[in-house]
Amino acid sequence: MKRKMLAALLVCALCLPRANAVSAQGAVVMDADTGEVLFEQNADARLPMASTTKIMTALVALSEGNLDRIYTVKKAYTLVEGSSMYLREGEKISLRDTLYGLLLESGNDAALAIAGECGGLEAFVQKMNAKAAALGLKDTHFDNPNGLTSETHYTTARELAVIAAAAMQDPVFRQISGTQSYTSGDHVMHNHNRLLSMYDGAISGKTGYTKAAGRCLVSAAERNGRTLVAVTLNDPNDWNDHMEMLDASFAKYEEVMLHEAGKEIAMQRVFGGNIEDVPLLAQHTIKAYVLPGELDKIETVIYGDRICYAPIAKTALAGQVEYRLGGKALARDAVVYGAASLLLPEEKNIAERILERILGSS
């Protein structure tokens, strides 16, 4: 009987999902603004990353200048294997539209075109590696701008998350990578990132696959003012794993009150008025979502005139209060004057006082 009970318990245990485990060879979830790691699994293993490479390709291209420059497609750009946006030799297209082909259709031809038009392939790859070094990455190296298999083309889940977090700071990258579909001439492009329609709050990401790398996925999602980046490398169950990782990571944040409407934020010195010090009051109730321990790290910055002169009206706009965490704005609110300060009566000169006495005695 005891053996049967133990066997049944063992079967039940094996049927239970592994706590905090995903199917990926390497995985991580990172706060895009603070760099805080909320989940990791073999996050520092050097692995191929397939077309998630193109996040760095886009990041370098976005720093190169005029995205609306029109170029003529060279034959060399079209002679590449794998996924394509189907550029044609001799057609004219902008770098911006090529970026859509890079991030939505994962075009290997788009990657070659971008590299070729931004200094040439060899120089561009050098820029990719220089950018990785500037981000402090030690276990990332690029051999090409598209992610095709190469022995010395690799990253880690953790370092790919750092690259993605840096890309998320660029509004153009956010806009392009979060677009569901886009048309440029006869190029009709559709985003391969299914999480954009599957997951509440998904805003960006990049897919990737080669036989050597397996299924690779980077996703970004935003909830309650916090942005998370999730990365899986060689993960046959990537869509489900990303949703589970993101849900579990967002659940670690808790809502806190930063200030209530009407709270005194600071005192403002007023010159030339009947009241010298006027309180600055918060206009709205402001809450934020933070991780344990983050509340004490939040910095408060007040923007407004350093010197204020009367008259000022009660409830008039005085400036803004901003709460910052890790160098990034977490929340903002307007501040208003909590009292009025009226101009003092002008002091009369000697002649005016003499005239006033004369008139008063007559």
Question: Where in the sequence numbering do the catalytic residues fall?
Answer: 51, 54, 106
* DSSP for 25-50, written as a single string: SEEEEEETTT--EEEEESTT--B--G
Please tell me what DSSP assigns to residue 140: -
Cβ contact 96:68 at 8 Å: yes
d(Cα 362, Cα 351) in Å, to the nearest integer?
Answer: 17
CA distance 200 to 190: 19
**Phi, psi at residue 94, to the nearest 5°?**
-85, 160
Q: Is the peptide bond before 279 cis (omega within 30 degrees of 0)?
A: no
Residue whose C-alpha is closest to residue 48's, from 188, 197, 152, 133: 152
List the one residue out of 261, 225, 247 whose CA is nearest residue 333. 261
How many helices and strands in the chain, by DSSP H and E?
Answer: 11, 17
Give how far Cα 268 sits from Cα of 40, 173, 281, 311, 313, Å. 47, 40, 10, 13, 13
